[in-house]
Amino acid sequence: MPSYDKSRLLHERACRVLAGGVSSEFRKFNAPHPLFYTHGQGARLTDADGNEFLDFTLSQGPLVLGHSHPEVLEAVAAASRAGQLFAGQHLAELELAELLQRLIPCAELLRFSLSGSEADHAALRLARAVTGRPRFLRFEGHYHGWFDNVSVGVSGGLAELGPREQPTPVRWSAGLPDHIENESLVLPWNDLALVEQLLATRGNEIAAVITEPIMCNNGCVPPEPGFLQGLRDLCTRHGCVLIFDEVITGFRTALGGAQQLFGVTPDLAVFGKAFASGYPISVLAGRREFMRLIAEGKVIHAGTMNSGNPATVAALTTLRILEREQIPSVLREKGEHLREGLADAGRRVGRPLLLQGPGPMFHAGFTPLARVRDYRETLSYDKPLYARFVTGMQERGIRLIGRGLWYVSAAHTSADLDLAIATAHDVLKSL
């Protein structure tokens, strides 16, 4: 059993100054308590007690090249020395935008922000302005950040969710404005007939349909064949803006995101996480005729810290490496190997795991279902059992995200993946 004594003391100290001892809701859930980390290198992370972990969280996704990639660090150090923020333009920002425009199918014009939440917020504001319509359609269990307008429809148990055909918009947080349920209409994912029905009756109120192209945040559920194209066609028919939230799928499933992988081009798309190796930058990309409203200042998008020099250079350097080394296909191969090894380990010890997702990221969990298609079906996952699995893995030096998502980086070697599979085999056997 590893000792977490130093982390425990630091966490107790942190609880006296930080709300809940952390700076993000998602960092609270770690047994026996949140750990403090001192450094990360490649696929490994070390905590304050000196425990080393093989890391499959990638800091919730951004570290697609692994921790502390030397080429990125050098570029960022040089950029930091040259200046941090100019309240003005710089060449790296222009070069990054040109590179993204070349890679992403829908990217005719772009704007940078700091986080995925901000860029999603800008996308929805822009969609309302483009259409003059007040509401948007979102899908149960998809995550589009923590801002007010998307903090409805992301959570909830079966009893709260109500009928599939007319779900109750469940609030994720206290403190949301009164009118918030009127902003978003919610439907289960992967059911085109329901979307068709809703747009036929209320299409003229709906500015946008926003979706993760793979439901990464709950079960890593792939779209049913034809579902994304169906959304594309329905949005075109009813004059709604189609938004792909590619904060997880972007640069990981393909350089041009899931829109390239599935061959379906949205009107607007949001990217974050994987393109800057952990430095804060996100991007809203979209059709010129829509983004024009931002260009003309009719739709306001701003931010003091946007496109800072070090983060921009981190993104530019990361993307050049991703392209040069064809990292999405590397991740796919590694991820498939890991996913199949874990499935096999589960079968061998009589603890079958359902594994879903394309490889660069996938979800693992215990469910009696052979396949999970939407958020309601993800509620069949045995979460307490998976929490025990995660704790057992951590005790043996493998760090996982508690809710079942696994991220694979370019820094994971075949030996790392085989170690994870062998460790999972032992932990599954012990459950």
Ligand X SMILES: Cc1ncc(COP(=O)(O)O)c(C=O)c1O
Residues at the contact surface with ligand X, assessed by CB under 6 A: 60, 115-117, 120, 143-145, 212, 217, 245, 247-248, 272
Nearer to ligand X, 10 or 65 (CB): 65
The active-site residue, picked from 47, 120, 273, 279, is 273
Long-range Cβ contact pairs of 228-231 (< 8 A, separation 24 or more): 228/262, 228/264, 229/262, 229/264, 230/192, 230/195, 230/196, 231/192, 231/195, 231/264
Nearest to 126 by CA among 102, 149, 154: 149
Nearer to ligand X, 57 or 229 (CB): 57
DSSP 150: G
The active-site residue, picked from 245, 267, 374, 416, is 245
Q: How far is the CB of 348 from ligand X (least distance, A)?
A: 32
Which residue's Cβ lies closest to ligand X?
A: 116
Is 245 one of the annotated active-site residues of the chain? yes
Nearer to ligand X, 103 or 216 (CB): 216
Q: How far is the CB of 426 from ligand X (least distance, A)?
A: 30
Nearest to 203 by CA among 245, 177, 239: 239
Q: How far is the CB of 273 from ligand X (least distance, A)?
A: 7
Is 4 one of the annotated active-site residues of the chain? no
- Spatial neighbors of 347 by CB under 8 A, at least 6 apart, are none
Nearest to 62 by CA among 250, 226, 297: 250
Q: What are the E-state strand segments in 337-377?
A: 354-356, 361-365
Nearer to ligand X, 213 or 346 (CB): 213
Q: How far is the CB of 59 from ligand X (least distance, A)?
A: 11
d(C-alpha 376, C-alpha 407), whole Å: 23
DSSP 10: H
The active-site residue, picked from 4, 47, 55, 143, is 143
Q: Token pair for residue 298?
A: 């009719």
Is 5 one of the annotated active-site residues of the chain? no
Q: How far is the CB of 65 from ligand X (least distance, A)?
A: 18
Q: How far is CA 302 from CA 79, 251, 307, 388, 406, in A?
A: 22, 25, 11, 44, 33
CA quadruple 342, 346, 348, 349: dihedral, nearest 10: 140
Nearer to ligand X, 61 or 341 (CB): 61
Q: Which residues participate in catalysis according to the annotation?
A: 143, 245, 273
